[in-house]
Amino acid sequence: MKKGKSNIDKPDSPPIVLEFSRIFQKIDAQIHELHLCSSEDFLGLNADFKKYYKQSKLISDNANEIIHYLKETVTGDMLGDLKNLYRDLQLIQLNFSKHLEKSIVLLNRIFSLLETLFLPVKNLSQDLMTLKFLLANLNINNTTLKAVFGNNFDQLTAEYNRVINEFKINCYQNELNLSNLKDQVKKTLNTFESISEKNIQDLDLIINHIHYGIILFAEKHEEISRQIPELTGKTKNTYKSIANIITNLQYHDIIRQKMEHVQKTQKNVLNELKYATDGNGLEEFLVKTRDIANLQSAQLIHANKEYQQAIEIITEKFIAIGDDMATISGLCKDISASQKDSNELDLQGLLDKFKDSANVLNHYVKAGDSFTNHIDSMSVSINKASGTITGFADVIKSLKQITSDTIKYFSSVKTGDKHIEKSLFQLSALSEDVIKFETTIQNVFKTIKGIEQEILLDIQDHVKNTKKTISFKLAADNLNSIIYALNNKNSLIKNLLESNFSISAEISKEIRESIGRIRYYEFFEKVIVDIIGEFNLVSSRIKSELKLQPENRAEDLDSLKGIYTMASEHAIHDSYVAQVEDISDPLSKKDSDIEEDDSNIELF
């Protein structure tokens, strides 16, 4: 309404008309201020609502993603991969343990056989030294032999010493090779036994971790299935709250229309005041003005009541949205967390277990390489020792020949020397001992070679079985692949949870701040008292001026109903005309009709 001096303020108007004109102009300005205040409140709430709607939708979307990721994890390919890995690791453990234990048994046999070679090797070396000593003794003490055989004796003993020295060199190398082989077997045995001891504990631990993952996935699937209805219910509640907020935000237009109707009624009254003079229907006009003032008071009171109800519902639903979002975030956390009072995610705990398992599996990959390397090194040592032992055959042949020639040569001459006969007997006996010990060494080493072949064949069988099933390397790769996928899912879920908690905390805080920004309540209390007081002043001035009885009513108020567009306004009007005592709430028995009527108003 334009401000300034009204065209009804003319000198010939009665004083009471001028007074009412100023009062209605003031009321019009105050209603305008009320409307501006309510508009600011509703526009602010509408802006906040748009923000909360986006945030609540984001939380709901995040919650759905969390559920999707968890459900996909516990029911999708990862669960199948986990079950396959669990089965494969059990098979790996069985095959590897069987292979390792057999290797340990065979290595123990080799080590025991090498232990038995200690005395034959030492005795062989000792007998060779004794042979050499015996020849030296013959050479020094038996002048008869020298006298009889001359240079032939020296040649014979020199050849004998050459054969013995060659045998000694072979024995020394053989003893060195056997010692190295024994050390290599012992080292390999210790390594295998260490792997075996850890194998029982570590592989069991890995299998238990994988089994834990399968059980966890089953539990999570059950928990998700159980929690989805509650999450769905909270989401539906949020949508209902949003719908209620939208409906009540539209009440701003209804309230605005009602205030405009009050202002339009006053404008009509002001226009009629132009023609109200002392002799021109003043009394009838004043009665009508009084009734209009009372009606306006009732309309404003009811408009305020509707405003309050709308604000109460909006704030209530704002808070409900905040609570539902916090609940949804909490439910997502409960589904994802290992314990309700813990911030650690279940997937994170499982991820840590899998990473530990991957480290152990990597150790077994290295152990497999170490196993092969140890066997290869042992085979090299066996072959080296085998070479020197095989070389004994040629030397033994030479020893047999020289011993036979020596005895035959000395026996061809009858010296009658008992000492010579005794020496020749000892020479023959020592040679036989050397041959016997060499045969023992050959037989033992033949057994060792046979065991080595058994170990190598077992390794070949293990490699074939591994190709048919799965190796430690492939199992480790599969586990690392699961860890990679699980880590990605865990990071996504963690980020979504953090986002939800941050948003829900922000919503809860901002909702309370939004409610605190509503000014209408405080403003209305100050302004409405003035407006109703001014309406009452109009009514009382008319009563005083004309001395009217309360039952006197203007006969024609029907024209006002044409201004009203809502059922609530019509109800207040009809109640006043019908002399309803409680004019401030004439709608108690007609709420459903009014709501139906008001719901048909075209809103913004």
Domains of the chain by residue range:
15-74+231-343+496-598, 83-228+368-469
Give the helix/strand (H/E) hosting 414: none
Q: Which residues pair with 337 in a beta bridge?
A: 345
Tokens standing for residue 302: 């009811």
Would you state the pLDDT for residue 574? 61
Q: Which of the four pLDDT bands, split at 50, 70 and 90, describes residue 450?
A: very high
Would you state the pLDDT for residue 402? 84
In this predicted model, what pLDDT tens digit does every residue of 481-502 receive, in sequence order? 877 887 887 788 778 878 877 8
CB proximity list for 489: less than 8 A, separation 6 or greater: 69, 70, 72, 73, 78, 347
Percent of the chain past pLDDT 90, that is, above it, reads 2
Tokens standing for residue 467: 């190709």
- Where b means 16+ CB within 10 Å and e means fewer, 283-305 reads eebbbbbbbbbbbbbbbbbbbbe
Between residues 557 and 22, which one has the greater pLDDT? Answer: 22
d(CA 61, CA 496): 10
Place of tokens 């042949």: 397
Rounded mean pLDDT of 151-169? 82
Q: Which of the four pLDDT bands, split at 50, 70 and 90, describes residue 548?
A: low
| Three-class secondary structure of residue 345 per DSSP | strand
Would you state the pLDDT for residue 63? 81
389-398, 518-527, 540-549: segment of lowest average pLDDT: 540-549
Mean pLDDT of the chain: 75
pLDDT greater than 80 at residue 434:
yes
**Which stretches of 469-598 are DSSP H helices?**
472-516, 520-546, 558-561, 567-577, 591-598
Between residues 99 and 186, which one has the greater pLDDT? Answer: 186
Q: How does DSSP classify residue 603?
A: -
Would you state the pLDDT for residue 581? 40
pLDDT greater than 60 at residue 583:
no
pTM, two decimals, is 0.58
pLDDT greater than 50 at residue 597:
no
Residue 26 near residue 533, CB atoms below 8 Å: no
Rounded mean pLDDT of 263-286? 71
Would you state the pLDDT for residue 108? 93
- Where b means 16+ CB within 10 Å and e means fewer, 204-214 reads eebbebbeebe
Backbone angles phi, psi at 275, to 5 degrees: -100, 0
Rounded mean pLDDT of 223-232? 76
